[in-house]
Structure 1
């Protein structure tokens, strides 16, 4: 236990700053496959077989705990009586059978076919962001393209007014910042105030769609019906939308950033993909495997469990490192290599969208976002390359893994 406690600070520092976690997680898998991190009061599992057990077994490992982002500050509890929007009972924070009803209804407007109908809107968002950058020859594509892209797509899919883009973007970044365990109490209070406004905004949008449904995701959730099942409540719709904002934003922004970076690392591969854009889905999947934007999933243990001789008690939190599992040499050949030609059977092992009952319901949106964004960037920015001399840092926090900034250059 002494060794585990001593290892904790370096582990949290790694979460805050390491760009490529592959070497570090390899050490974890080999020497500390079960590790308690006091700073986040969670047990970390890093081996593929352990992670997939947690992801798939909803009988022993419950939903993501509701207190993961901390309590609402006392002075705002009256304004947020049920907590932040993403923590209303919905998808990631409910267990079967309640979860099954919500997911069955929520999935209806998020099927691949339903999402595919929005390809025109997604292309419009990508084009609108990339065109002003073309004459510049250099820009931080994380800040100017990869990060705003999924937010703009969410705005279009949710039916949010374009004039609310900046505010919605700020709310989205604020939600993910709440997951950072080291933010100050002053900053947490500031973010909580923002979430009051976010909750109110979505609550008003839901009420408006109930009166006059449109062709948007909120309306689709409200109108979703299933025989012998009650429709989604306002609170459930609020939770679904809040959770989609987090998952859709972070996964897409990370996938776009990492894909462009990895393609630019291999100019021959970039040229090959640019000449054959049908390869882009393979780029997206390999990028999501190699540098999974959500490092892992948190589950609350329902009963005492044992991993490698270590008992984890009921009520404890497990942080199952999906990013480590997706680079486990027991399942992937040369996992550190970025290889879009990996065997399809091997790629089916990747858990970048989770698995089991809590598999990401917004994965069709994330995949389409990333595919269109990458196609737009590599075809519209000639001789795209990473700008030299950069120290790449990722944002703070234990769960999400996205570069803070990343400068690229191209010919003008």
Structure 2
């Protein structure tokens, strides 16, 4: 895949063109076995000592992480994302005035869409207050947000409903009005988990869907090395000094292939794991020479091999409350404790215990809406829910 100046933004494709990063059968089997063993051994946070394999180098400080792996800025360079969205909207404008943009969590779509709406001064539809979802008579002001001729954007459908007997009516009405065209031109963005639920609940919902293509290893390497424009960092393995990633795309990195496969091509998941892999060494500022003897003034950072990387895993033992809490968080893209109770049917003690265990295991973290799955823990959570028989997203 070619990488251009907008490679850091989600590349939009039709749903049937979406594909996972390629991986080998060996990697797939190894991941499956690792997941089995992770369920029967104590996770890292219960161990008294870390393994010493390759851990003589120190993890980066917060200041160093802010320099080498800063948080993604989805507001930078929106042109490619905007062009792709415009092409899709123009393609379906006559038959479907509302565009449905569906993507997995941590794909960057919501942030890019909000930035684009602000840039073009489109109306940003705010989610209804949680209590109002159950009281249709209180939603008149919310529906008024759709009035007018300029395009509107609903950044996350999952924030507009609750999986309770009285919490589904709003989205049923919204999807019906959007598909029949009575809301005018707009964009509904939904997480893949939310969309999977509603496709099951409303099988008649047959609309064209655009999504964000998964990042392959080449695109991922380019993106990770250009998060910060002030430097041209080069990343090398701690074990043999081999090149992992560089801004010019040099090298063929097995680490990046593993990272792309593990993260399912989701940039924010890859970024979270990438930050765990970075290490500091005294030679960080030393100049290096390429094979021709030329000096490369780009700065250098170090990466531990994939085999030495400790990743979040489910706490040992079986616990259905954990699964119910995780599934609810993914369906709604974040919930607080009071809302988790009616959505999951669990008691307060079960919810508090589940959240405590999941937070210690680095699988959930605080969120503007209460709690949400952590980016680094998402692959383990998805595999766990699938193994427990939950309907996972198709991504």
Q: Do Structure 1 and Structure 2 share a fold, with TM-score over 0.5?
A: no
More strand by share: 2
Alignment TM-score, normalising by the size of structure 1:
0.29
The answer to which structure, 1 or 2, has the higher relative contact order (CA under 8 A, 6+ apart) is: 1
Q: How does the TM-score come out when normalised to structure 2?
A: 0.30
Larger gyration radius, structure 1 or structure 2? 2
Greater helix share, structure number: 1
